[in-house]
Amino acid sequence: MTKILNNHVLAADVGGTNTRMAIVTGNGEILTLIKRPTHCKDGQDEMITFLVSFAREVIEKSNLPEEKICGMGIGFPGPLNAETGTIFNPPNLNGWDNVPLKDILGKELKVPVAIENDANAAALGEWWKGAGSGTSSLFCITLGTGVGGGMVLGGKVWHGASSIAGEIGHTTIIRDGIECTCGNTGCLEIYACSGGILKRVNDALLKEGDNGKFQPLTDLKEIGQMLIQGNEVVLKVIKETGVILGIAIANLANLLNPEMVVLFGGVTNLGTSLIGPLREEVKRRAFKKATESLRIELSQLGDNSGIFGAAKNILSQL
């Protein structure tokens, strides 16, 4: 244990929009953290080159000798096999098909590498250093470019029989609903991810407004401003999104009965207009016994959840 506490690891959180990478100590202190746009549309080879060069940049800027870096943990969009570190066609990344990312990064950086689904990494981070500290069972839902989920039981990520447990974003919420990037229809992700919310808000505004003067909203901050201004059309869509998320969490509560659900990601910044209807729908739909001990909390770590989880994952394997 003393050896681990005295060492440092690289920790990376690869998102659909940005990649964050840091040097983290054995007891969970972030020393150096840098954010870069994710090269998710560039294809497999270009993105691997980006990750390797980014890792070397972070090490260089930390002013630590390379021998002090004892491993690298990375949270990456699933589906993936955490044991082998193989990536299987993430819906929001181009050109990834059975890519042995763990082996590739380990060979390039010459350190042990541990890869985890990004939502699992966020869940592990919240359990280690965030809202879920001290809980026995925690489910984390990531709400950003995509919608992911991860569960921690007794301090360990629950992977399931084939390493894809937790993919709540690709559970069907609306039969024959909108087509999702995964090929299914009616997935939670297509309704609750940032892009899905933007599309539904813009469609609703276009329907209600003057087509010739309509300027589509481009990000969640603009939606937030319209909520502050009291726009009823936008408010209706965000409340509907809260209800949809509430249905998913009610299903989760009845099925898995976790002690805590942690909500993480940029979509949560939409505030009480989203979270209020979400809580009401969970209470309305789930069994009372499933919710009487359930806590639904926002992330305490914010954008650093995945960093802490990736670090904890590799530290536990050293």
pLDDT band for 290, please (50, 70, 90 cuts).
very high
pLDDT tops 80 at residue 42: no
Look up residue 270 and give its amino acid. Answer: L
> Closest Cα to residue 305, out of 38, 118, 88?
118
- Residue 214 confidence (pLDDT): 81
- Residue 6 confidence (pLDDT): 64
- Domains of the chain, first to last: 2-124+304-315 (3.30.420.40), 134-299 (3.30.420.40)
- Residue 1 confidence (pLDDT): 45
Question: What is the tens place of the pLDDT at every residue in 170-228?
Answer: 999 999 999 998 899 999 999 999 999 999 999 999 998 766 678 899 999 999 999 99
CB atoms within 10 A of CB 86: 19
Q: Give the contacts of 301 (CB within 8 A, at least 6 positions apart).
A: 125, 126, 129, 130, 131, 264, 308
Greatest pairwise CA separation for the chain in angstroms:
66
- Residue 249 confidence (pLDDT): 99
Question: What is the tens place of the pLDDT at every residue in 65-120?
Answer: 888 999 999 999 888 999 999 998 887 777 788 999 999 999 999 999 999 999 99
pLDDT tops 80 at residue 167: yes
- Of all residues in the chain, the percent with pLDDT exceeding 90 is 82
- Residue 2 confidence (pLDDT): 45
Least confident stretch, 43-47, 148-152, 221-225, 248-252: 43-47
The neighbouring-strand residues paired with 33 are 22
**CA atoms of 131 and 263, how far apart (whole Å):** 10
pTM of structure = 0.89
Tokens coding 90? 């993430």
**CA atoms of 131 and 229, how far apart (whole Å):** 31
